Amino acid sequence: MFRLDKKIAVITGGGSGIGKAIALRFAKQGAVIHIIELSVESAGEAADEIKNAGGTVLIHSCNVASQKEVLAVFKNIGAIDILVNNAGIANIGKADTTSEEDFDRVLSVNVKGVYNCIYAALPQLRKSNGGVILNMASVAALTGLAERFAYSTSKGAILAMTMSVARDYMAENIRCNSISPARVHTPFVDGYIKKNYPGKEEEMFDKLSKAQPIGRMGTPEEVANLALYLCSEEASFITGIDYPIDGGFLKLNN
């Protein structure tokens, strides 16, 4: 079960964190992996791990916010079976403390970047007679998180895009779903704590971990396992749905 043998999978932001975990998991299940990153160097470690495990991987340098670059990459890749829109950036700020520059930057990557990849991927999915699009949303789209105005806005858009794409391309055998993680322990989290709470890293890590009722952060591998299911034939009856993976954050917080 959950095999992806000979499936062509494109994963944006596949060089680190959740994207890397998804790339590794899909490769282990037999998929041919195409990682899209801003720079080739940032995906080198992930690519090495996949190759060392006997998998097949190609890296493409691309700014997902540029439709011209995205179209060129997807044309070069050709027919695909799976697109995972994982690339994204975060921002700290409320509505009146978020600059126009930061707002535009977050939406250009998190929203336009997903649109660009979907736009470019659809013709390539049709060549394979259908496939799967999986978008990375966030619990920030489903509940109020303090000082996450631009980020929450962008992830709310992902939910709407997911349902729209699922509806529009259902007849073409293209499924589209999204995943909404709560806090996941990635290098980004470690960098955020180190930058904003110097000298209090351990204390803040514990506090952020306990924000999930289950008492810890999620792992990239746990998100990758859910992504694998949603992109496999075992999930062939599922489309237009968002899946929170949150350690009880949305429903069990008092």
pLDDT the model gives residue 119: 98
Q: Could you tell me the pTM of the whole model?
A: 0.96
Dihedral (CA of 117, 132, 10, 128) sign: negative
Q: What is the CA radius of gyration of the chain?
A: 18
Instruction: Please check the confidence at residue 179 and state whether its pLDDT lies above 90.
Output: yes
- Asked if residues 68 and 115 have their Cβ atoms less than 8 Å apart, the reply is no
Specify which residues 57 forms β-bridges with.
33
Range 87-105 average pLDDT: 96
Instruction: Please check the confidence at residue 141 and state whether its pLDDT lies above 90.
Output: yes
Give the percent of the chain with pLDDT over 90. 94
Range 131-138 average pLDDT: 98
C-alpha span between 150 and 144 (Å, rounded): 12
Range 157-178 average pLDDT: 98
Which are the catalytic amino acids?
151
Specify which residues 226 forms β-bridges with.
none
Range 134-160 average pLDDT: 97
Length of the chain: 254
Instruction: Please check the confidence at residue 254 and state whether its pLDDT lies above 70.
Output: no
Instruction: Please check the confidence at residue 229 and state whether its pLDDT lies above 70.
Output: yes
C-alpha span between 215 and 207 (Å, rounded): 9
pLDDT the model gives residue 81: 98
pLDDT the model gives residue 188: 85
DSSP 206-231: HHHHTTSTTSS-B-HHHHHHHHHHHH
pLDDT digits (tens, 9 = 90+) for 49-88: 999 999 999 999 999 999 999 999 999 999 999 999 999 9
Mean pLDDT of the chain: 96
